[in-house]
Amino acid sequence: MKHSAVVFPVLALSLFALQGLAGAQEPSLSTAGAPYAPLDVSKKGQDPAVPLSNSQRNELLSEFKGLVHMGLRKATYDHWEGKDMADCDKPQRSDERWSYRCEIITGEGNGYYYFFPNEARQAATLQELDIRVHAADERLLDDFRRPVQELFGRASFVEKTSVQAKPIGPIRHWNTGSDVAELFIDRGVRPEGSVRFVWMRSPLVSGAQASLPHEPQPQ
């Protein structure tokens, strides 16, 4: 992969005022408020021994929303709105199924966006998001859960993730049939832990169903 692009985008962040996914192929997005200031990429990860202040949590929530916002629509690679602010590459190994992988860096996190062949194999569409926010405060799971819940409804708890990870604490899981998403703290990203949100959508989901946990417990 090429050197990651250091990004200073002015992101118009979503408030996720969504009408639900039922009967819709793409989330209906409502944006409001002024754009956020350019992100400061010079900051280091949060010290896990120091509790986050409310302002820090709000800042991390804004970064999280901005990164998810860039992946709300199942766009083709050529028409993806984040392409100009991301560093993108192609697979280097034969076992990598995606066609393109793009990374966007914020002050305290990274967003990875994976484009896979569509059903007709005529174009690569955005089918997986992998968002990492570099803080391990469990209160962020509740902060981040709320906008995700507006996308997918109530979460369940599961014991294992559907992706390679070293989770600690609760794993929130959503499955709509065409979308699978999980929110948890992952020590596989960095030893201190990072909040991680993974969202897979069809047709990738149909190939991942076999490895998903069964009979999750309702929240």
Position 202 scores a pLDDT of 86
Q: Give the Cα separation of 189 and 157 in Å (integer).
A: 21
**Is-contact 107 39, C-beta < 8 A?**
yes
Over the stretch 109-127, which tens digit does the pLDDT of each residue have? 999 999 999 887 789 999 9
Q: Give the Cα separation of 146 and 130 in Å (integer).
A: 18
Q: How far is CA 56 from the centre of its chain?
A: 19
For the residues 64-75, what does the mean pLDDT come to?
A: 96
Q: Specify the range with the lowest mean pLDDT, choosing from 21-30, 59-68, 100-109.
A: 21-30
Position 207 scores a pLDDT of 59
Give residue 49's pLDDT band: very low, low, confident or very high (50, 70, 90).
low
Give residue 219's pLDDT band: very low, low, confident or very high (50, 70, 90).
very low
Q: What value does the mean pLDDT of the chain take?
A: 78
Give residue 12's pLDDT band: very low, low, confident or very high (50, 70, 90).
very low
**Is residue 3 pLDDT above 70, yes or no?**
no
Position 47 scores a pLDDT of 61
Position 21 scores a pLDDT of 35
For the residues 174-182, what does the mean pLDDT come to?
A: 93
For the residues 180-208, what does the mean pLDDT come to?
A: 88
Beta carbons within 10 angstroms of residue 79's beta carbon: 11
Position 205 scores a pLDDT of 79
**Is-contact 159 171, C-beta < 8 A?**
yes
Beta bridge pairs of residue 179: 201
**Is residue 50 pLDDT above 90, yes or no?**
no
Position 46 scores a pLDDT of 56
Give residue 210's pLDDT band: very low, low, confident or very high (50, 70, 90).
very low
Q: Considering only CA atoms, which of 214, 211, 217, 149 is closest in space to residue 183?
A: 149
**Is residue 37 pLDDT above 50, yes or no?**
no
Helix residue spans in the chain (DSSP H): 54-69, 139-152, 204-208
